[in-house]
Amino acid sequence: MSQDDLSVAAPAPPTIRRVALASSLGAVIEWYDFFIYGTAAALVFNKLFFANLTPAAGTLVAFGTFAVGYLARPFGAVLFGHMGDRVGRKRMLILTLVIMGTATFVIGLLPTYGQVGIVAPILLVVMRVFQGIGVGGEYGGAVLMAVEYAPTGRRGFFGSWPQVGVPGGLLLASGMFSLLSLLPDDAFLSWGWRVAFLSTIVLAGIGLYVRLQVLETPAFSQVKEAQDEARIPFAELLRTQPKELLKGMGTRWIEGLTFNAYAVLAVTYATEYVHVPKTTILNGIVLGAAVGCVMTPVYGHLSDRFGRRKVYGAGVVGIGLFIFPSFAMMRSGSTALIWLSVVLGLGVVYSAIYAPLAAFWAELFETRVRYTGIGSVYQFSGIYASGLTPLIGAWLIQRTGGEPWAFAGYVVVIAVLGLVVLATMPETHLKDITPTGAAQTAREAVDPA
């Protein structure tokens, strides 16, 4: 079977802009699927799937099932990284989108605890596992479709477009729940929340159509033509580039922590401890995500000009300085200050941390293990960097009587750790990442205009 058998007709050679669109649009859809679970965990699942627990315990358990998705993501990274480094990037992007869309759609159909008892949370966790597997394989492929097509000197900019998937998916997810929150509480809890999950069937169809139009990357095609694929990519990664893997994971911690502090934990903090309406914090997240969609490619471009280390480092310093004032703004209860906190934290500061990392990580690894390498960096570190953040944050806030300062201190510590790791890493923005001969192939296959 040829690498394009999954398409209806052989697509025309893509421009880098078309590749960036396919990567970013598909990533937006997959992250939408993943993030609506986090929002639902904060607002719905503790009431409908863990109704036998106290409200505080239900929230912690719901966030625990949120973390389960992150535990499944490393498996997806290794599985799809293996196939992506041996079979190709394109097929994996299609398969992960199908898995993710199906799991999300099924969640929208699940019965609640009041209807079927313990079976309900079990089914919820199983679907969350499939979500984790799908998004675990998605990230590396989406990044590489953009980065491996991009010309040298533009990898940060084009590599930042699949990164837009995170704020873009969050924008859709928070916007959807903000809209659904306008329903009466009874309607929202009985059927309104399901709309967010069931709507993914339309989004997944759009994403599949766009991704089917893209060819395999020139860099991997060169490896395939030379029959130089890694036999067991994950084993080769551990054998040949373990330091790069560990350093990449070190840069990831503050990124995942920052994102989930605003995108997930802030929802619980603002509604349960500051007692503002859920639409207030959700609308703030929508605004922050919208700003992030704009700032992410801007920071990607800046990383091409000034280097990955400077842009990422500026973002890490920024969150270390801003996290205490940010939660003080939320604590005030003022709608304007809450929105300003989230817009600056999520849209401006976080984007500087996140935007250069796609190209930065891709430039760490050889083509033969690059899919596995990026996926492993992102997903293994995601367990502690992202998956446990809402749980740790909720626990720290509960233990300190509803005060956010212990959690803010935790963020500062991890920011310092990120800067220490960064100090050990070289600048890579001018590095040639193509295998021998692939640079010319890329120039011939892609119109960089």
The arithmetic mean of pLDDT across residues 365-392, rounded, is 88
Taking the CB of residue 34, how many other CB atoms lie within 10 A of it?
A: 27
Global pTM value: 0.80
Whether 437 is in a domain gets the answer: no
What's the pLDDT score for residue 150?
Answer: 83
pLDDT score of 436: 53
pLDDT in tens, 54-110: 777 777 787 777 778 778 888 888 898 888 888 777 788 888 888 988 999 999 999
- Supply 152's token pair: 């040298």
> How many folded domains does the chain comprise?
1
Q: Pick 253 or 14 by higher pLDDT.
A: 253
pLDDT at 111: 93
Please state the three-class secondary structure of 272-330 as a single string: HHCCCCHHHHHHHHHHHHHHHHHHHHHHHHHHHHHCHHHHHHHHHHHHHHHHHHHHHHH
Q: Is the pLDDT of residue 447 over 50?
A: no
What is the percent of the chain where pLDDT is above 90?
A: 40
Which of 312, 330, 297 has the alpha carbon at shortest distance from 154? Answer: 297
- Span 191-214, mean pLDDT? 85
Percent of the chain having pLDDT more than 70?
A: 92
Mean pLDDT of the chain: 85
Q: Which amino acid is at 216?
A: E
Degrees, nearest 5: CA angle 82-85-91: 90
Q: Is residue 8 predicted with pLDDT exceeding 90? A: no
Note whether residue 101 is domain-resident. yes
Which of 143-157, 236-250, 377-391 has maximum average pLDDT?
A: 236-250
Q: Are 378 and 143 in contact (CB under 8 A)?
A: no
- pLDDT computed for residue 331 by the predictor: 95
pLDDT digit string (tens) for 231-259?
Answer: 888 999 999 999 999 999 999 999 999 99
- CA dist 266 and 322 (Å) reads 15
Q: Is residue 320 part of a domain?
A: yes
Q: Is residue 443 part of a domain?
A: no
Examine the pLDDT at 17 and tell me if it is beyond 80. no
Q: Is the pLDDT of residue 3 over 70?
A: no
pLDDT-derived band of residue 11, with 50, 70 and 90 as boundaries? Answer: very low
| Residue pair 183/192 in contact by the 8 Å Cβ criterion | yes
* 439 pLDDT more than 50: no
* Alpha helices, DSSP H, located in 5-88: 16-40, 46-48, 55-86
CB-based contact 136:73 (threshold 8 Å): yes
Top mean-pLDDT range of 145-149, 345-349, 361-365: 345-349
- Each residue of 75-90: pLDDT tens digit? 888 898 888 888 777 7
The answer to whether residue 439 sits within a structural domain is no
What is the CATH number for 385?
A: 1.20.1250.20
Count CB-CB contacts under 10 A for residue 244: 19
For residue 263, pLDDT beyond 50: yes
Asked, for residue 44, whether it belongs to a domain, the answer is yes
- Token output for 325: 């004032």
In a domain, 447, yes or no: no
Average pLDDT on 299-318 reads 97
Average pLDDT, integer, range 176-188:
87
pLDDT tier for residue 337 given thresholds of 50, 70 and 90: very high
Write out pLDDT tens, residues 387-425: 788 889 989 999 999 999 999 999 999 999 999 999 999
What's the pLDDT score for residue 14?
56
Q: What is the DSSP letter of 377?
A: H
Token pair belonging to 293: 């969609």
Residue 75: domain span: 16-227+241-426
Cβ atoms within 10 Å, residue 426: 10
**In this predicted structure, what is the pLDDT of residue 137?**
86
